[in-house]
Every structure is written in C-alpha cells, then in structure tokens.
Amino acid sequence: MMTGDDYRASLRDGRRIFYDGELVEDVTVHPRMQGSVDLIAAGYDAYVEQGPDAFAAAYTAPRSSEELRARLDLLTKWDTSLVTTLESLAALRTAAGRIGETEVPYGHRMEAYIEWCQENDVRCVQTLTDAKGHRDRSIADQDDPDVFTRVVEQRPDGVVIRGAKLHISAAAITHEMVVMPTKKMKTGEEPWAIACAIPVNAPGVTVLNASISPRLEELEEHPYSKTRSMPEGFVVFEDVFVPNERIFLNGEVEHSATFAHSLGLWQRAGGIAHMAKNYDLLIGLARLLAEANGTERIGHVKDKIAEMVIHATLVRSGLEAAITNVTTTPEGWVTPSELYTNAAKFFGAREFPRMLSLIHDIGGGSIVTAPLPGDLANPETRPLVEKYMRTMEGVSGEYRTRLFHAVRDITASDFGGWWQVTVSISGGGLYAQKLITMKHYDMNHAKELALEAAGLQRFNR
C-alpha cells in the first residue's frame, strides 16, 4: 500500500496538466490543487495505518445487502479519489457480467485490471462524457468526428484513440482513467464504441482544469470546501495508444451502452448515499441557525425544518429500499435495485434546490453578508462583530458569524453552486433517472390492479 508521500511522488510522473492556461509543473504544490492532493494523501496514510487488508473489501464485489450497505457507507466517508475508484471498478465488474462471453475475453481483462488496481493501490476516475458537438446530430453527422472519442487506428497490439472527455473530477491528481462510451452506438458507429483504461501520464493525454478550491488566503472563510474541493478535468486524447490488455470494448456496438448504464447505477447509488448524509447535514445547519437566531419556536421556521426532515427521510428510505431489494448476479454478488436507486436519485436531486431555499430562508441575509474572518482577527473591528452578531447568552458574535460562514461556504459559495449542479447532473440528468425508473417499474401489476378495481378484467386482452 502507498503512503501519502508515495502518492505525492507518484503524481510527479510527467503528466501534462494545465490550469487557467498555464502548464502545471507539479500538481502536488499547485495552489489550486495542493489542498486536494493533501486530502487524498491523508487518506492514503489513514488506510496504511489500518493495515494491508484494510481496504481489500472495498475492491471486491459485495455479496449481500449488508456488504452493499457497508460499501455505500464507505463512499460517504473518504476522499473523492476513492469514491471515483470504487465506482469505476464496480462499473467495470457490472459491465463484465452483463457482456458475458464474447470472442474477445473482455471480462477477463476487466477482472485482471481490477486486481491490478488493487495490488498497486492506484486511484481511478470514470471517464465517460464526450464533447458531443451538435446535440441534435448523430455521431456520423458531426462536423468533427473527434467530438465523440473514437479509435483512429487499429494495430495488432492495440488501438490509437482520439477525442475528449468532460467533467472528470480529480483526473489531474489520480493515476488511471477508465474510459467508456458515452451512449449507445449504432451499426456504422463502431470506431466510437471503445472502452479502455489509460494512465493519466500516457503520451498524448492533456488535462485542462477548473477548480472551486478556495485560495490559500481564503481558507478560514471556507471551513467546509477547503477539504472537499477537487479539480475538474477536461481530458483530451491526442492519438493515445492503448495496448490490447487494457481494451474492454472495441467496436461491439451492441455492448456500447452497457458501460454507461453500469456506471450510472453505481454513481446514482453513491449519489443517494451522499444525499442522505448531506440532507441530514443541511437539517443540522438549519436547526443551528434557528437556535442561534432565536427563531426555533416560531411556527413557519418549525414548518420549514419539518419539510426538510420529510425530504431527508424519503431520500434515506429510497437508499434503504435500493440496498434491501438487491439484484444478485450469476457470479453471486449483488447490485442495488435499479428501480429504487433511480427513483431516489431523481427525487433527491429534484428537491435539492428546495432544501437550499428553506435553509436560506431560515438563516437570512447574513449567510452572504456576515463580517469576514479578518474582522474577527482585527482588535479594532472584533468588538463590533461580537456586539452586534450575538443574539443571547451562549450565542457569541464569533460563533454566529462563523456559523454563517459555514452555511455560506456549503450552500452559497463557488462550492455551493458546484454542489447544486453536480447533485442534479451527476450520474446523468433527471430525465435519465426517469427513463430507468420507468423501465424497471412493474407497470403490468399496476394495470392489473386498476382493471380489478374497475371490474374490467374481462376486457383485458
């Protein structure tokens, strides 16, 4: 297992990383990436302290609802790189089972790759969404064929690919990219039906980055996001060679959608696990705000918190239903229920803006206008903050000000905006969850109940 220092050293591997137009010589000390690297490094050290077998189970397939619950709980406790790793490898394992036996041993390659990742203690990112070009045109009708990642050369020992992948969280500071087709391909679109694994430092790979990480001088104002922000990668493949043993699909269009569907299942399951935890966080913050403001007994404030509790309870109910109603694969391991996973993800993502609206209404304008940490540090201005930001005995001006800072950081900062978008879009947009929910809902059962209630069974042909 790698230590935190081993991890930092592993990132100094010649990878081609840009931030805001400038080439990054060393991601481990870049001011907008160092905090993210330190977070992952701290995770590596924590894993090592628990012993060599501490995370072996994280890489293996869950074989019961209890193991699945533990796996999803794990996703809510550790850094983004481990989350993307476990989701990527779970998606590969799911895809391998669904593809089954083919002329090419893709399943064996995927299992071998999963074992290699575990043995080498590397971190992966799922690399799915293409640039896509004109959204109303088919792949073959695009002005530029590279807007969907494709194979441009077939070789005896592998393939050469070209294209770009968007929204790849933590790509710049992990080791491996698990590349998958972004959607179902049709006959004639074989070059775009490519799934494979590529090291971040492979020749021809370039990663452009955006970041919501607070600047070093702003860390005190951002108590939450300073330890949770990850760079967002715009990954470009410029004629990148992929050897055969790392190719998991190559032109078999009938299996092209399998990877996206497999990844979507695990991303959404992880998403509702995070949502259940974070909805509880928002309720806790709302209650603290109400208590600090002296409004916790006011009717409309109590009603708003009650509504938040109902939203949180329904999301957690969906998570529990997804874990309880598992599907057991022929290989003997389990996946969360497609029906409950997608329904819960849809509901939670749709209601997330409402949760933010409620907490903002409870907290008031000081969420975005409270004095800054420097005002608390300055002997000249601190007494003013303490005098006018306190509300009662036990609620100091500093406590209430810092509470507002935390709520602003979580819900109304760059991180808050990023969070609201990713809750909605991660794992596919709301429409995708509607489609999968409808696919797995037992409509025939519902119709039979309706026919019986109406006394129309005899008309049912």
The token duo for 287 is 């209650």
Alpha-carbon torsion (133, 136, 139, 145), positive or negative: negative
Query: Identity (one letter) of the amino acid at 27?
Result: V
Give the closest residue to 416 by CA, choosing from 364, 346, 352: 352
Strand 232-243 to 247-250 pairing: unpaired
Q: How far apart are CA 454 and CA 175, in angstroms?
A: 60
**Contact of 200 with 174, CB cutoff 8 Å:** yes
Other beta carbons within 10 Å of 146 = 18
Write down the pLDDT at residue 35.
Answer: 87
Phi-psi region of 107 (alpha: psi -120 to 50; beta: other; left: phi over 0): alpha
Q: How far apart are CA 405 and CA 449, in angstroms?
A: 53
Looking at residue 172, what DSSP letter applies? G
The token duo for 360 is 């903002």
Could you report how far apart the first and last alpha carbons of the chain are, in Å?
62
Q: Which long-range CB contacts under 8 A does 389-396 form with residues at least 24 apart? A: 391/292, 391/293, 391/294, 392/294, 395/291, 395/292
Q: How many residues does the chain have?
A: 461
**Contact of 358 with 368, CB cutoff 8 Å:** no
Q: How far apart are CA 223 and CA 221, in angstroms?
A: 6
Looking at residue 247, what DSSP letter applies? E
The token duo for 157 is 């020992």
Q: How far apart are CA 76 and CA 49, in angstroms?
A: 20
The token duo for 84 is 């993307």
Phi-psi region of 188 (alpha: psi -120 to 50; beta: other; left: phi over 0): left
Domains defined along the chain, listed by start: 4-247 (2.40.110.10), 258-447 (1.20.140.10)
**Contact of 349 with 274, CB cutoff 8 Å:** no
Write down the pLDDT at residue 57.
Answer: 58
DSSP strands (E only) in 280-357: 327-328, 334-335
**Contact of 338 with 265, CB cutoff 8 Å:** yes
Residues β-bridged to residue 395: 392
Residues β-bridged to residue 154: 159
Give the closest residue to 259 by CA, choosing from 90, 77, 85: 90
Write down the pLDDT at residue 216.
Answer: 63
- pLDDT by residue, tens only, the chain of 461 residues: 899 999 999 999 999 999 999 999 999 999 889 989 998 999 888 888 877 666 655 677 889 999 999 888 877 876 778 888 888 988 999 898 888 778 889 999 999 999 999 889 999 999 999 999 999 999 989 999 999 999 999 999 999 999 999 999 999 999 999 999 999 999 999 999 999 999 999 999 999 999 887 776 677 778 888 777 889 999 999 999 999 999 999 999 999 999 988 888 888 999 999 999 999 999 999 999 999 999 999 999 999 999 999 999 999 999 999 999 999 988 888 999 999 999 999 999 999 999 999 999 999 999 999 999 999 999 999 999 999 999 999 999 999 999 999 999 999 999 999 999 989 888 888 999 999 999 999 999 999 999 999 999 888 76
DSSP strands (E only) in 377-418: none
Q: How far apart are CA 67 and CA 365, in angstroms?
A: 44
The token duo for 5 is 């220092």
SS3 96: helix
Q: How far apart are CA 24 and CA 387, in angstroms?
A: 46
Q: How far apart are CA 236 and CA 146, in angstroms?
A: 10
Write down the pLDDT at residue 24.
Answer: 97
Write down the pLDDT at residue 78.
Answer: 66
pTM: 0.90
**Contact of 200 with 172, CB cutoff 8 Å:** yes
Q: How far apart are CA 28 and CA 15, in angstroms?
A: 12
| HSE (side-chain half, CA atoms, 13 Å) at 120 | 15
Helix axes 397-411, 338-363, angle to 10 degrees: 140
In the chain, % helix, strand, coil (3-state, to 5) comes to 55, 15, 30
In order of 192, 236, 458, the CA distances from 164 in angstroms are 12, 4, 56
Helices (H) and strands (E) counted in the chain, each on its own, are 16, 12
